[in-house]
Amino acid sequence: MSQSTSTGPDRTRRVAVVTGGSGGIGRACAERLGADGFAVVVHYAGNPQRAEEVARAVVAAGGLATTAQADVAAEDQVAAVFTAAESEFGGVDVVVNTAGIMRLAPLAQADLKEGGEVDGMVRTNLRGTLVVSAEALRRLRDGGALVNVSTSVTRLALPTYAAYVATKGAVEAMTPILAKEVAGRDVTVNTVAPGPTATPLFLDGKDEETIARMASMNPMGRLGEPADIAEVVAFLAGPGRWVNGQVVFANGGAA
């Protein structure tokens, strides 16, 4: 656990853990929640420099932030992140689970060997969501919120996305169940399903023609930006208390 704070712990603040917080959407969420007054734990898997950069950005804007490393599929490591958040800031109020990986191929050509790319997506996107969600629902304080991340491709049904969408469809399916499992605790559980968004995860391996074509599919005439998704997450993490057990498609109208 490496620390980057503006002055020191302020235990009167609400606290957010953002998994995948060094990535495109994760970073936007961390910075937005920091601007909204949250103390932010920026989780990363393997790039401490990027996570520290995000934490410094939160601090530069007047917030509190710290970084934490974990494999989201490893229960003990995820538990350690939450314990560190509680020790540093006094508790956990919001968990935004953006950690994920994407490997695209027609299923007949996908790397299905044991330990291969598809297994990697299942481990991070599905098992990781289960592990993070379980820990969040144990630890979130009353008034808290868990926000997981799916993808609008569960509806867009784009070729080459089958294995990836399989891991994300499961996240959507568990969302209303988890909301009911914490009934009576004033904790909300929702999932945000971004459409094509201009992040390294999405842009990697795509040529300009493909990117332009996908942007043109949107009624808004562009790809989403990480800040577009962070705005929806911030609503669910803050004032959106009557939205619960839902999958919110944040995609500019793509269908």
The DSSP annotation for 234-252 comes to HHHHTT-TT--S-EEEEST
The three-state secondary structure class of 194 is strand
Asked if residues 28 and 36 have their Cβ atoms less than 8 Å apart, the reply is no
The three-state secondary structure class of 96 is strand
**Active-site residue flag, 164:** yes
In degrees and rounded to multiples of 5, residue 16 shows phi and psi of: -120, 135
Q: Of the residues 164, 190, 224, 230, which is catalytic?
A: 164
CA 110 – CA 93 distance, rounded (Å): 39
End-to-end CA distance of the chain: 41
Amino acid, res. 58: V
Of 113, 110, 130, 230, whose CA–CA distance to 189 is shortest? 130
Instruction: List the beta bridge partners of residue 67.
Output: 2, 42
CA 210 – CA 167 distance, rounded (Å): 23
Strand ranges of the sheet holding 64-69, from the earlier edge strand across to the other edge: 2-4, 64-69, 39-44, 15-19, 94-97, 145-149, 188-194, 247-250
Catalytic residues: 164
